[in-house]
Structure 1
Amino acid sequence: MEYTLGVVIPVPQPHRDALRAWRQEFGGAATEPIAPHITLVSGSYLNTWEKAAAQVRQVASGMKPFTIELGAARTFRPASDVVYLPLLSGADQCWALHRQLLGDALRHESGFAYHPHLTIAQNVPAQQLDAAQAGLAQVQMAFEADQVQLFDTRGGEWNLSEDIALG
């Protein structure tokens, strides 16, 4: 049986609550159960769960904590109905983590090229996407990325499996 794992950078407080409120306002109920995060990898894994998790731990141990700064809302439209906050700083480190995570134990299958960002709204009516982009045109926030979170889909839903410190 094939499972999917996710590796994300969680957003710490106090920004988590503000982002969660924006996601709920503009992204609707579908964003509610998912805490604000920056995805590093979301895909299926090969071999065993332990081998995939060990690879995530090894990659995380080699990356020092770094600062992520989020900026004004942008959109992927017309390619994809998504409004997101771009990384003004920290994108290079996210790219490095993404590339290192895609080693032998992890397989990545995506219809889109990797682009570090924080999703605010997706797959909602155009007026909600427009409102999100306009309403978050002045956003600027920064936080320290000092851990990644490892999720699995065993059991059919996303489950937090492990918090892994960087460095």
Structure 2
Amino acid sequence: MKYGVVIFPEKKIQDIANSYRKRYDPHYALIPPHITLKEAYDFDENHLNEATNHLEQISRETAPFEILLHKVSTFHPTTNVLYLAVQESEDIYSLHEQVNSGELFHESSYQFIPHITIGQKLPADEMHDIYGRLRMVNVQLKTRIDRFHLLYQLDNGSWTIYQTFLLRG
């Protein structure tokens, strides 16, 4: 089964992200707007208890923090993805590093760039046109991060929460 670890931002930010995602993201109906801490991976369910213990330990040691989404950006030319970028934050990088250690360590195929995807799988011309318009938008969205979630993927491709971990460090 595929698992992943994500942060869901506050509802007002999800609403803003969804206003773009419903037009530009084919995964709109599969998962709410999120920041991926651990990309989707196949995980042996026999190790699920160790994984949840690992995540619980991290949540006990990590204090809640705020992040700022500060611009629209793209991963082009690597992929045609548009996203809301998270301003540099030691807290989110530290949380990502902790989640991707111990029981959940495996080599990632990408460098961690915290973001909320608002468009993907777009033809290059359309992606450039949309990005040209959106990069002019002044984005200054703060959100408090006080929890993260272990998700699993259902047979229909949608994601659902397996367990939520409250930050209480």
Letter in 1 for 2:34: H
Computed over aligned residues only, the root mean square deviation of the Cα atoms, in angstroms, reads 2.0
**Contact 2:85/2:115 (CA < 8 Å) preserved in 1?**
yes
The answer as to whether partners of 1:9 and 1:148 remain within 8 angstroms in 2 is yes
Q: Does 1:30 align with 2:27?
A: yes
The 1-side partners of 2:125 and 2:17 are apart by 19
Equivalent position amino acid for 1:148 in 2: F
Aligned to 1:130: 128
Partner Cα separation in structure 2 for residue 12 and residue 160 of structure 1? 16
Percent of aligned pairs sharing the same letter = 28
Q: Distance in 2 between matches of 1:93 and 1:131?
A: 33
Q: What is aligned with 1:147?
A: 147
In the alignment, does 2:79 pair up with 1:83?
no
- Aligned residue in 2 for 1:70: 69
Task: Tell which deviates more after alignment, 39-48 or 13-22.
Answer: 39-48
| Aligned 8 A contact 1:75 1:133 in 2 | yes
Distance 1:10 1:113 in 2: 20
Shift of 1:110: 3.3
CA–CA separation in structure 2 for the residues paired with 1:63 and 1:135: 38
Report deviation, 1:85. Answer: 1.3
CA distance in 2, matches of 1:111, 1:103: 15
User: In the aligned structure 1, how far is the partner of 2:129 from the partner of 2:30?
Assistant: 21
Contact 2:71–2:140 (Cα < 8 Å) also in 1: yes
Structure-2 separation of matches of 1:127 and 1:12: 32
Aligned-residue offset at 1:146: 0.8
Q: Give the total of aligned pairs.
A: 163
Which of 74, 83, 90 aligns to 1:92? It is 90
Q: Which residue of 1 aligns with 2:60?
A: 61
Secondary structure at the residue paired with 1:96? Answer: helix
Measure how far apart 1:131 and its partner are. Answer: 4.0
Q: Whole-Å Cα distance in 2 between the matches of residues 41 and 79 of structure 1?
A: 19
Task: Tell whether the 8 Å contact from 2:69 to 2:141 is kept in structure 1 after alignment.
Answer: yes
Q: Could you tell me whether the CA contact under 8 Å between 1:72 and 1:140 is conserved in 2?
A: yes
Q: 1:132 to 1:5 in 2, by over 3 A?
A: same
Which amino acid is the alignment partner of residue 56 of structure 2? R
The residue type equivalent to 1:62 in the other structure is E
Residue 41 of structure 1 corresponds to which residue in structure 2?
38
CA contact (8 A) 2:66 2:144 kept: yes
- Contact 1:44/1:109 (CA < 8 Å) preserved in 2? no
- 1:7 aligns with 5
1:120 counterpart = 2:118: yes
1: CA distance, partners of 2:114 / 2:104: 18
8 Å CA contact 2:17, 2:116 repeated in 1:
no
Shifted more, 154-163 versus 120-129: the winner is 154-163
Q: Which runs of 5+ in 2 are unaligned?
A: none
